A = this chain, B = another copy of it.
């Protein structure tokens, strides 16, 4: 079973109430791949410019499971750069700047060595780009997509065409509400199933996540974390997706029971990302350290 992701690699500049970080590695594909690689190899497809810091490459390479054969570094192009500022309770995020760079160019191709990938995660991107990526993966068994408010608003038709092609959607609660007009995540999830996918995972940040699947419903709280353990929420959602998809790819099953079990692996993976800026919280992690937190979460969230 081989897991592939396409999405952004970015240079992030972040401010939080507690501090900040300048020009650290970020982007959805970087977080997903680093997070997922703790459990299983992850193939990364993305593009950067010639300004991409060599330390960023070194850091990504230090995650030994990340396969960078699909990383295109383009001469004369600029890397995607993003600035974000978190307010008070870390739930409000303002974008301070966005430099699209390579994201305005043609999307990267899937290298031949990746074409037999079976588990596919489409991080947030234009739905037409996501759809074209799928066309290059004839052996896919499970495709899960993310999206964002921008595409719901300006590419709604392409988004609906893509929803009819994929197996699962992983979005946050505000995106689910925008897509369906429904606040309640269980009801919003049911409405999204009507659009084609077999399951929807709605991420609620500090409140956990909900899985609405044709075969059942599941819910998980976030990993208990106090103020001292929440340094930077950037990339937590992509890390959740990486940990979850890696569990599914590692175990090889993707039915309701497997996806339910995978929620915990996504949750604990994200809990490490929160603890530092950039990818630092994921550095040096092992599957057994993820398992430790799965056990702690199991104890704290035991029912009855």
A271 smallest CB distance to B (angstroms): 12
Number of interface residues of A (CB under 8 A): 39
Closest to A205 in B: B207
A217 adjacent to chain B (CB < 8 Å): yes
Determine whether the beta carbon of B217 is less than 8 Å from that of A183: no
Contact residues in B for A297 (Cβ distance below 8 Å):
303-304
Contact residues in B for A218 (Cβ distance below 8 Å):
300-302
A210 adjacent to chain B (CB < 8 Å): yes
Q: Known: A207-B207, A264-B303, A298-B303. Is A224-B230 also a contact (CB below 8 A)?
A: no
Interface, chain A (partner B; CB < 8 A):
88-90, 182-184, 186-187, 190, 204, 206-208, 210, 216-222, 224-228, 230, 260-261, 264-265, 294, 297-298, 300-304
27 cross-chain CB contacts under 8 A: A184-B206, A184-B226, A184-B227, A186-B224, A186-B226, A186-B227, A187-B226, A187-B228, A190-B226, A204-B207, A208-B208, A208-B221, A217-B224, A217-B300, A218-B300, A218-B301, A219-B221, A219-B222, A219-B224, A219-B301, A220-B301, A221-B301, A261-B304, A264-B304, A265-B304, A294-B304, A297-B304
